[in-house]
């Protein structure tokens, strides 16, 4: 059975959504990043990058959320919008766009707005600007199509969903959805799916640390150690 190493954050939720949609049996392994589970040697063998999500599929380990989506979709031939060469190219392009743009810029926007030890105007402006720029590109893309690729609900929509759920947290409040109506339409459609509701409910069925206290900051932001030594 697949083991899913999970924390209720945007990237792991994409994979939980896929597994729920595909009705693949899986065992959830709580990987509480606020408690430092991502740095444990046993987990680093599964994901040397010390982040969630990761999966074990038998003896095969896969890490990085969009790699997991592609691996599972290809293996089970499900939720791949890849009927044509053009759709395959679009699928890869948008999956990489989410992995290298939407995720990191949204994550850094949150970091500098909410978690940096001191406010740094330049960084706040840069990441807010880039996060908005990436989300606006998705909004524009979705203006003329129901789904991200090929008129089909696919892993690309699941990848977008993981982050679209937290847009208010990333872009400064729920009003951000008013400026991204096409992204919001896709989000609402996926949120209405029972699989999305089951994926969201995982956090209520397991215990995860909720406070970002000093210990959690040490686990999540190890770079701060270097500041302390200066
Ligand atoms: N590129 C990775 C990024 C994974 C990532 O940043 N995961 C976050 C949760 S969304 C995490 O585990 N953070 C804990 C940490 O940075 O220590 C992916 O898409 O899976």
- What pLDDT digit, counting tens, does each position of 52-99 carry? 999 999 999 999 999 999 999 999 999 999 889 999 999 999 999 999
Q: What is the CATH number of the domain that holds 23?
A: 3.40.30.10
Q: Is the same domain home to 207 and 180?
A: no
Domain membership of residue 73 (yes or no) is: yes
Task: Please report the pLDDT score of residue 177 as a whole number.
Answer: 98
Domain membership of residue 230 (yes or no) is: no
Task: Please report the pLDDT score of residue 218 as a whole number.
Answer: 95
pLDDT tens readout for residues 126-173 = 999 999 999 999 999 999 999 999 999 999 999 999 999 999 999 999
Is the pLDDT at 228 greater than 90, yes or no? no
Average pLDDT of span 37-59: 98
Q: Is the same domain home to 147 and 113?
A: yes
Number of structural domains (the chain) is: 2
Task: Please report the pLDDT score of residue 17 as a whole number.
Answer: 98
Give the total residue count for the chain.
230
Domain membership of residue 141 (yes or no) is: yes
Q: How far is the CA of 178 from the centre of ligand 1 (A)?
A: 27
Residue whose pair of structure tokens reads 């979705």 in the numeric block = 142
**Domain ranges, residue 219:** 2-78+196-225
Q: Is the same domain home to 182 and 131?
A: yes
Is the pLDDT at 50 greater than 80, yes or no? yes
Q: Do 105 and 99 form a contact (C-beta atoms < 8 A)?
A: no
Mutate which of 37, 51, 217 for ligand 1? The one with the most ligand atoms within 8 Å of its CB, which is: 51
From its phi and psi, is residue 159 left (phi > 0), alpha (psi between -120 and 50) or beta?
Answer: alpha
Average pLDDT of span 23-36: 98
Q: Is the same domain home to 185 and 103?
A: yes
Predicted structure pTM score: 0.97
Pocket of ligand 1 (CB under 6 A): 7, 9-11, 33, 38, 51-53, 64-66, 99, 103, 220
Task: Please report the pLDDT score of residue 217 as a whole number.
Answer: 96
Task: Determine the atom of ligand 1 nearest the C-alpha atom of 220.
Answer: 17
Neighbours of 66 (CB within 10 A): 24
Give the pLDDT band (50/70/90) at residue 12: very high
User: Which ranges in the chain belong to alpha helices (H)?
Assistant: 10-22, 41-44, 65-76, 85-97, 103-110, 121-141, 155-164, 167-170, 176-179, 181-191, 194-205, 214-220, 224-229
Mutate which of 4, 5, 6, 11 for ligand 1? The one with the most ligand atoms within 8 Å of its CB, which is: 11
Q: Is the same domain home to 52 and 130?
A: no
Give the pLDDT band (50/70/90) at residue 229: confident
Residue whose pair of structure tokens reads 């994979």 in the numeric block = 15
């Amino acid at each position: 059975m697949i083991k899913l190493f999970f924390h209720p954050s945007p990237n792991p939720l994409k994979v939980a959504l896929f597994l729920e949609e595909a009705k693949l049996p899986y065992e959830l392994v709580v990987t509480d990043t606020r408690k430092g589970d991502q740095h444990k040697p046993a987990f680093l063998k599964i994901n040397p990058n010390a982040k969630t999500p990761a999966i074990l599929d038998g003896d095969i380990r896969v890490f990085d959320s969009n790699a997991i989506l592609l691996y599972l979709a290809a293996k089970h031939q499900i939720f791949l919008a890849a009927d044509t060469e053009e759709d395959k190219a679009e699928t890869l392009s948008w999956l990489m766009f989410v992995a290298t743009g939407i995720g990191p810029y949204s994550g850094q926007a949150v970091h500098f707005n909410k978690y940096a030890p001191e406010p740094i105007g330049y960084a706040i402006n840069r990441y807010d600007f880039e996060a908005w720029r990436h989300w606006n590109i998705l909004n524009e893309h979705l203006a003329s199509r129901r789904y991200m690729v090929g008129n089909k609900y696919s892993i690309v929509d699941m990848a977008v969903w993981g982050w679209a759920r937290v847009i208010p947290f990333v872009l400064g409040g729920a009003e951000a959805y008013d400026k991204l109506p096409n992204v919001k339409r896709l989000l609402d459609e996926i949120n209405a799916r029972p699989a999305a509701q089951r994926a969201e409910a995982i956090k209520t069925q397991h215990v995860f640390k909720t406070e970002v206290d000093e210990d959690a900051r040490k686990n999540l932001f190890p770079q701060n150690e270097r500041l302390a030594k200066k």
